[in-house]
Chain A
Amino acid sequence: MAIKKFRLVILLVGSLIFDSYALEQLDVQESGKMIKLYPLENEIMIYSQTGEPPQRIRTNTRNTRRISPGDKVSEIFSESPQGSGRLRSLPGGVIVSFTEGVDPESWAVQNNLSLEKKLKPGVYLISSPSGRASLAKANEIAELDGVETVEPNWWTNVESKSGTPKGRLPASLEKSLQNYFQR
């Protein structure tokens, strides 16, 4: 019964995301610049609250990992419409730097927000739900007095630098790629 309930949750989340991101372009404000992001189809990130690494999963396969109570879920966004390069998702949280003279603690109480972690004097991580809700929260906070900069707390796909990138281009292309610059 419990398993079925989780499958249902996954299907619901999957179907919601599937409907919402086909070829969609999302404009997001970041560091004063507008950036374009593209939600990947049929993929989500699950952030476990039990110390497991975040997991990127496909929602349209049968072997989907269960979403446990307390897990946070986010869409995955690509910086290119083809889904390559840097990926991002939103595990929750908004990073705020305050203008000089603002007391973050009283500011948080006044705005009914929760300071989760102090990164350095005047810069805090503020709690927010995961996924697009954290974008909405970031936009909301940006409108408040006393705020200098606001950034969503992004997850991005960083990787260790051992081994060569996975995947294989056709041999002819791989050879031609090396010709763009004489090393």
Chain B
Amino acid sequence: MFQADRILESITMVITRILLKLIIHMLILTMLVSCLEPAPVKEVPADGAANSLNDDTTSDSSSGGSSNDSTSSTAGSDPLVEFQWHLDNTGTNPIIDADDGNTFNGVAGEDLNIKELYDSGAKGEGVTVAVVDDGLEVVHPDLNANINQSLSYNYLNGSTNPSPAQNNGHGTACAGIIAARDSNDEGIRGISPRSTLVGYNLIAGYQSSRAFDAMTRNKNTVQVSNNSWGPADGYGTFTDADSVWAAGIKDGTSTGRNGKGIVYVWAAGNGGNLADISNYDGFASQEGVIAVAAIGNTGSFASYSEYGSNIWLAAPSMGDNGEGIVTTDLRGNSKGYNTSSDGSGDFSNRNYTNSFNGTSAATPMVSGVAALMLEANPLLSYRDVKAILAKTARKNDPTNINWDTNSAGNDYNYNYGFGAVDAQRAVSASVSWSLLPSQKIESWPTSGVQSVGTVIDDAGTLVSSNINISGSAISSIEFIEVELNMEHNDWGNIEVILERNGSTTTSSILAVAHPCINSSLSAIIDCTKSNDTFTFGVAKHFEEDPDATWTLKVRDAEAANDIDNSDPTDGEAGTLVSWRMKIYGH
């Protein structure tokens, strides 16, 4: 009997253990499933008005929170906003939500000048911004409410879900800078936190035809196109723009937004430490794009940021002190920039990162400001937006030696373009702005090209050629393209300068003598080119009168610079065949 009881007791215990284990496993499984299950994707209409401020208020009150409850978030807050120095650089912003002993090294006021604008209610409502990138995580809790998934596109699988399949968090980081939702008790706040985001994952699988598509998709709905990408940096090579992509830009600026033109914002490039300059980048040198350089939280250029006469303006990013931009990151511990393996120095909430950087981060700053400008005045054309940004930019780093004033009185700096973007001034000017008259485009010389045919010798003799412009129908230049036709085995030896000669001379450096770098970025090589032409983009002559004598100065400057640290003359002579100017203006 006793034996039978023991056996029964043992069987009961085994069954109980099994049942307990089953229950525990079920619980674990349920938790895992709930973790893996994506949050429901909300599709918002193109006007981005699906969630109003009232929705946030309701959701806060339903959570039982109270403004007097110090343990819960303040109603409608953005808990990490104080870390976003680009919105309000106090000079004492915290860097990280854990005390790691590091202190902020920024300078108060070196930000977008956006605080009062936000307080006045400017949030980018009704403006759609396309993030053309490696993807966009549509379920991110700080982005989801602003994403219009039905207008998004995935080039790899043809769906409308651009969420990255791999560990590609770049587009999601750019999107957060532009339009992370405000007042939702989640992380951060975008520059235009109520604008609508669409994602096109073009760079996950670039093709010319897709590039055309990404530049023109939903072209009457998309008002701003953010492009924190381009050809590979650091090699110093002269990279022509993809002609099919360029045709997409032309189509978008001429017919997009029902003729007002999509505002394309473009990264200037990150090869500044490797003698690469933005002028050699055919994508960032188009008339239809706004090329953006990077400045750190002290207001000085980041040394990786490429300079050039095509740069339109500068915007905040990580500078040389290593203090980066706070933005959205792919959710979870193992994806994106802030991961469990290398997340030291970053937020404990791994849906965000404080380390975003490059001209990649500077570009969406300008996209966000452009969205605020278009909210303030939807009638602005892409040319108006460019002009306002130039006219309202702040002269940052005023003692930098590259500040110059063109003959129209505009300050320009190869590192910063017309200066640091100023949201408050740009939006204010947008409201009262007189729209620019129709654009005129002229090619000079009118006969076709200015033939030269002069040898560019190895000793550094200057070759100069003039184009005399008179009777131009343009009185105010918006942008210049200079097409150079040159036969030379090493384009890196050549210095190219464009001058407008008048009572004062405006000089634009288009190319400097520089070495090119091999594919592994480990040695210096000649800068060969796949053809004999290259088109430079020139912003510096903004608002000048084209009627003048324009001089192109070309010389082999290797002798002066001894680029490859060997024989200063390398026996490589060439010929300046011809050149011409294409002037955009009104």
Residues of A within 8 A of B (CB): 30-31, 33-37, 47, 51-54, 78-87, 91, 93, 95, 117, 119-120, 123, 125, 151-170, 173-174, 176-178, 180-183
**B contact residues around A117 at 8 Å (CB):** 209, 213
Known: A79-B237, A84-B516, A165-B270. A157 touches B231 (CB 8 A): yes
Q: Are B359 and A82 touching (Cβ within 8 A)?
A: no
Give the interface segment out of B24-32, B524-532, B541-549: B524-532
- What is the bound-complex CA distance between A54 and B204, given in angstroms? 8
Asked if B360 and A162 sit within 8 Å, CB to CB, the answer is: yes
Would A157 and B207 count as touching, CB distance under 8 A? Answer: no
Complex alpha-carbon distance, A54 and B203, angstroms: 10
A180 and B561 within 8 A (CB)? yes
* Binding stretch for chain A, among B242-250, B387-395, B467-475: B242-250
Interface check B482, CB cutoff 8 A = no
Assembled-state Cα–Cα distance A119/B243 (Å):
14
Contact present for A95 and B274 (CB under 8 Å):
no
Known A157-B231, A159-B229; contact A79-B518, beta-carbon cutoff 8 A: no
CB distance from A20 to the nearest CB of B (A): 19
Interface residues of B in 242-285 (CB under 8 A from A): 242-244, 247-248, 251, 267, 269-277
Beta-carbon contact of B512 and A123 below 8 Å = no
**A123 to B209, alpha carbons, bound, how many Å?**
10
Inter-subunit contact A157/B530 (CB<8 Å): no
Given contacts A79-B237, A159-B232, 19 further A-B contacts (CB under 8 A): A84-B518, A85-B232, A85-B516, A95-B208, A117-B209, A123-B212, A153-B207, A155-B207, A157-B206, A161-B228, A161-B267, A162-B270, A162-B361, A163-B270, A165-B232, A167-B520, A169-B523, A177-B515, A183-B402
Q: Which residues of B contact A36 (CB under 8 A)?
A: 530-531
- Judged by a CB distance under 8 angstroms, whether B401 is at the interface is yes
Q: In the complex, identify which listed stretch (B165-173, B436-444, B447-455) lies at the interface while the others stay far away.
A: B165-173
* Residues 301-333 of B at the A interface (beta carbon under 8 Å): 301, 303-304, 307
Give the CA-CA distance A163 to B353 in the complex, in Å. 14
Provide a sorted-by-A list of 26 A–B residue pairs whose CB atoms are within 8 angstroms. A30-B531, A33-B532, A36-B530, A51-B165, A82-B526, A84-B235, A84-B517, A85-B231, A85-B239, A93-B209, A119-B209, A125-B209, A151-B244, A155-B205, A157-B232, A159-B230, A160-B133, A161-B359, A167-B521, A169-B522, A169-B523, A173-B524, A177-B514, A180-B275, A182-B402, A183-B402
B140-169 near A? 1/0 per residue, CB < 8 Å: 000000000000001011000000011000
CB < 8 Å neighbour of B531 from A33, A83, A95, A119: A33
A120 CB → nearest B CB, Å: 6
B residues apposed to A, CB below 8 Å:
133-134, 154, 156-157, 165-166, 170, 173, 203-209, 212-213, 216, 228-235, 237, 239, 242-244, 247-248, 251, 267, 269-277, 301, 303-304, 307, 356-361, 363, 400-402, 414-415, 509, 512-526, 528-533, 561, 563, 565
Residue numbers in A under 8 Å from B231 (CB-CB): 85-86, 156-159
B237 touches A80 (CB 8 A): yes
Would you give the shortest CB distance from B59 to chain A, in whole angstroms? 33
B230 touches A161 (CB 8 A): yes
Min distance, Cβ B163 to any Cβ of chain A, angstroms: 12
Are A82 and B519 in touch, CB under 8 angstroms? yes
Q: How far is the CA of A36 from the CA of B528 in the complex (A)?
A: 10
A183 with B530, Cβ < 8 A, contacts A95-B244, A160-B360 known: no
**Are A165 and B170 touching (Cβ within 8 A)?**
no
Which chain B residues border A151 with CB–CB below 8 Å?
Answer: 208, 243-244
Residues of A within 8 A of B533 (CB): 33
**From A30, A54, A152, A169, residue with most partner B Cβ within 10 Å:** A169
- Chain A residues near B518: list those with CB within 8 A: 82-84
Contacts of A53 in B (CB 8 A): 156, 166, 204-205
Residues of A within 8 A of B415 (CB): 183
Give chain B nearest CB distance to A159 CB in angstroms.
Answer: 5
A-side interface mostly: loop
A54 CA / B201 CA spacing, docked (Å):
13
CA gap between A49 and B521 in the complex, in Å: 32
**A25 shortest CB reach to chain B, Å:** 10
Measured CA separation A123–B235 after assembly (Å):
33
Of the candidates B228, B304, B414, the one whose C-beta lies within 8 Å of that of A160 is: B228
5 tightest Cβ-Cβ pairs between the two chains A and B: A167-B521, A165-B234, A85-B237, A51-B157, A162-B358
Q: A119 vs B87: C-alpha distance in the bound complex, in angstroms?
A: 39
- The answer for the CA separation of A151 and B209 in the assembled complex, in Å, is 10
Chain B residues closer than 8 Å to A168, beta-carbon distance: 521-522
The docked-state distance in angstroms from the alpha carbon of A152 to that of B415 is: 36
CB < 8 Å: which of B357, B402, B530 contacts A162? Answer: B357
Residue of B nearest to A181 (CB): B512
Among candidates A47, A85, A153, A165, residue contacting B209 with C-beta atoms closer than 8 Å: A153
**Which of B274, B363, B514, B516 interacts with A161 by CB under 8 Å?**
B363
Beta-carbon contact of A30 and B232 below 8 Å: no
Check B204–A178 contact: CB distance below 8 A.
no
* Complex CA distance for A30 and B242, rounded to whole angstroms: 10
Are A158 and B208 interface neighbours, CB within 8 A?
no
| Measured CA separation A53–B526 after assembly (Å) | 32
**C-alpha gap A37/B528 in the complex (Å):** 11
Contact check, B233 vs A165: say whether CB atoms are below 8 A apart.
Answer: yes
For B159, give the chain A residue with the smallest CB separation: A51
For A158, the chain B residues whose CB sits under 8 A away are 203, 206, 229-232
With a 10 A CB-CB cut-off, give which of B170, B275, B415, B529 has the most chain A CB atoms.
B275
- B308 CB to closest chain A CB, in angstroms? 10
- Least Cβ distance of B328 to chain A in Å? 13
Distance of B251 from chain A, by nearest CB (Å): 6
Residue of B nearest to A120 (CB): B251
A78 surroundings in chain B (CB, below 8 A): 519
A95 to B210, CA, bound (A): 11
B237 contacts A177, C-beta separation under 8 Å: no
Contact B156–A51 (Cβ < 8 Å): yes
- Nearest CB to that of A154 among chain B residues? B208
CB distance B216 to A120 under 8 Å?
yes
Contact in complex: B170, A160 (CB < 8 Å): yes
Smallest CB separation, A65 vs chain B (Å): 14
The distance from the CB of A131 to the nearest CB of chain B, in whole angstroms, is: 14
Residues of A within 8 A of B205 (CB): 47, 53-54, 155
Min Cβ gap B153→A in Å is 13
> Roughly how many angstroms separate A159 CA and B186 CA in the complex, as a whole number?
30
Whether A155 contacts B517 by the Cβ 8 Å rule is no
**A151 to B402 Cα, complex, angstroms:** 40
| A35 lies within 8 A of B531 (CB) | yes
